[in-house]
Structure 1
Amino acid sequence: MQLAVTLTDFDLIGPFKRSGADVFVVGINGLTHRYGKTFSLDALPRLHAAIRATGAQMWVALNGLYHPAQLPVLQAALDRLANDPPSQILFADTAVYALAQDRALTKRLIYHPETYVSAAADLRFWHEQDIGGIIPARETTLDALMYMGRMSPLPLMWVGHGYINMFHSRRPLVRHYLDHTGHAYPEAYHAKRLDLHETTRQDAFPILEDDYGTHVFRAKPLASFAELPKLSPWLNTLIVQSLFLNDEDVATVLADYRALLDGAALEPLVEKYASSCDNGFYYKQTILEKKRGVNP
């Protein structure tokens, strides 16, 4: 099983590779959201060469939902990627799939819509579309994820560590809130972490506003150390999402997953992250089923 990490700085390639990363996932300015820092198209060849020199792979995230006005930029990006293809391209909008077909890139696509892939039928459908991999919905339970891994005709990837987005609006809600309360909206707030505090909850929720709208995340990052022994036979790649984590912590997380994959003891690693992380939706069923004889 490979370890992937979202990359936000050229200088982190070496440290993250030494910590155990096999794959670096990078975002492109104006086409990638929720990655913190992204890169220009002009920077990609140098970035790709540096990553290849370490023996690792570069993946590119095109995970936005694109309006018609953005399609020329998306087409230009895919033209550049076709000339120097990354190992994989993460996508959510099917416009990426349609444009990739014209550029012989479909085999490099990984479908990552965040919520839609929730059944074995989804895996079969996308296998028929001849793409290269798929990432199940973030709400997938451990049992369902293992089942999908057994049934999948496609390589299965999974975002197994980091802050998980739980709400997205195209509206600039942070700006609207500050306008409503009579505060200015300095650009320092744009694409920067803020925290949402509710009087009825103890935990604060990270919130981020960028060019794609407003994103609210779970209070604690997901960790998958306890689940990794069950997941590793079925996963092609475990992705560490570095958003909101400092660089030293990301390097430590990568090293700990690598150690576990190499045979390190499980319990100390589970205990190490028990207070700072949670287990996401692994044990939370999000589908409500109507019981016989009970009205909803």
Structure 2
Amino acid sequence: MDKLYQPELLVTARDITEVKALANAGADAIIIGHQHYGLRVAGDFSIADIAEATSYLHQANKKVYILVNAIFHNAILKTLPLYINQLAELQVDGIICGDPSIFTVMEELEHKIPITWNPETLSTNYQTLMYWHQKGIKRAILSNELALDAIKEIKKELSFPIEVQVHGMTCIFQSKRKLVRNYYSHIDLPYDPDLSFHLKETKEEDTHYPVYEDENGTHIMSNEDLCMIDQLEHVLDTKMDGLRINGLLHSRSYNIEVVAMYRDAVDTYLEDPVTYHLKKVGWKQKLYKIQPEARKLNTGFYFKEQIY
């Protein structure tokens, strides 16, 4: 491998304790945010929390990215400039966005915070990403529905960094409506937001999709976890700039172990591919030991094409 190539390992965090633990476990960057402005944040971070996380990570020579990827309505646009001003003052390393209104807000504020573009399922071809690059994005997150061949083609055509998810849950549905809360109201039962909810699909196998609500509505997550630990060489061979781990709805101890394994896997492959191939079975076995019994591991769409 190219000795100069060093992808960024990114991971979500739920609180300051997890920020520090994941950074110490080997993450290069931590993804955090406040649910008022971000979709599927792992934990609610106030400006004071973001300030503490940014200070800690910068002292450790690591980065912090803020989720500002909510679907903005007019009411949010009234407070968004103040939030962006606060993030700029803290000198965060970037914001992750998916609503085009962010370009107008940033232009009016004259801020240069790097934008990572994440339009979810719409980030599927290089022409679209080139267009948004002209609008000012500095980085893009590719859709999870892409096969590896499509990812390679996009990477070859672009001159700016892109990233992909390599581990964790993926979102398969989101609604602005509070569907679970509304259902409990319909059946006239008290709603407890601390309960775990799962959507069961009528199939021969026992398939459950985690469902949770936050300020942005209802989110239904994948019934299996994406896991590329023993196929990571295929992703690294594309010279992907960022490798993202989604720790949402997983325990703190699980996320720490997963980050440490991927850190070891990335560094080992870049240093010595032969050793990587000898060790990757061991990483997979470790993952199976800590993986929740109800959640299987798979490789997502990396080796199959999405059919809509």
Would you say same fold, with TM above 0.5?
Answer: yes
CA distance in 1, matches of 2:17, 2:304: 38
Q: Secondary structure at the match of 1:225?
A: coil
Q: Secondary structure at the match of 1:159?
A: strand
1:159, CA displacement in angstroms?
2.1
> Can you list the C-alpha shifts for 1:30-88, whole angstroms capped at 9, x where unaligned?
11221231211233222211111111111111010010011122111111122222111
Distance 1:280 1:106, change over 3 A: farther
> Can you list the C-alpha shifts for 1:266-292, whole angstroms capped at 9, x where unaligned?
23324544684111122232246xxxx
Q: Secondary structure at the match of 1:97?
A: helix
Matched-pair contact (CA < 8 Å) for 2:35–2:215: no
> What's the counterpart of residue 34 of structure 1?
40
Q: Report percent identity of matched pairs.
A: 24
> What's the counterpart of residue 213 of structure 2?
209
Equivalent of residue 78 in structure 1, options 78, 84, 88: 84
> Can you list the C-alpha shifts for 1:193-222, whole angstroms capped at 9, x where unaligned?
421123325121100111211111111111
CA distance in 2, matches of 1:15, 1:24: 11
Quote the RMSD (CA, aligned, Å).
1.9
Count of equivalent residues: 285
Equivalent of residue 175 in structure 2, options 169, 174, 178: 169
> What's the counterpart of residue 273 of structure 2?
none
Matched-pair contact (CA < 8 Å) for 1:123–1:153: no
**Runs of 5+ consecutive residues of structure 2 not aligned to the other structure:** 1-6, 269-275
Equivalent of residue 269 in structure 1, options 267, 283, 286: 283
Which stretch of structure 1 is more off in the superposition, 6-15 or 100-109?
100-109
> Can you list the C-alpha shifts for 1:157-191, whole angstroms capped at 9, x where unaligned?
112211100011111111122222232223435xx
Distance 1:24 1:195, change over 3 A: same
> What's the counterpart of residue 294 of structure 1?
none
**Runs of 5+ consecutive residues of structure 1 not aligned to the other structure:** 289-296
CA distance in 2, matches of 1:104, 1:238: 30
1:234 and 2:239 correspond: yes
1:107, CA displacement in angstroms?
5.7
Equivalent of residue 66 in structure 2, options 55, 60, 76: 60
Q: Secondary structure at the match of 2:304?
A: coil
Matched-pair contact (CA < 8 Å) for 1:156–1:234: no
Q: Secondary structure at the match of 1:284?
A: coil
Q: Secondary structure at the match of 1:269?
A: helix
Structure 1 segment 94-173 matched on structure 2, within 5 A: 94-106=100-112, 108-173=114-179
Letter in 1 for 2:283: L
Q: Secondary structure at the match of 2:84?
A: helix
Letter in 2 for 1:260: A
1:95, CA displacement in angstroms?
1.1
Letter in 1 for 2:177: R
1:244, CA displacement in angstroms?
0.9
Structure 1 segment 223-262 matched on structure 2, within 5 A: 223-232=227-236, 233-262=238-267
Matched-pair contact (CA < 8 Å) for 1:97–1:106: no
TM-score in terms of structure 1 length: 0.89
> What's the counterpart of residue 278 of structure 1?
298
> What's the counterpart of residue 186 of structure 2?
180
CA distance in 2, matches of 1:95, 1:106: 15
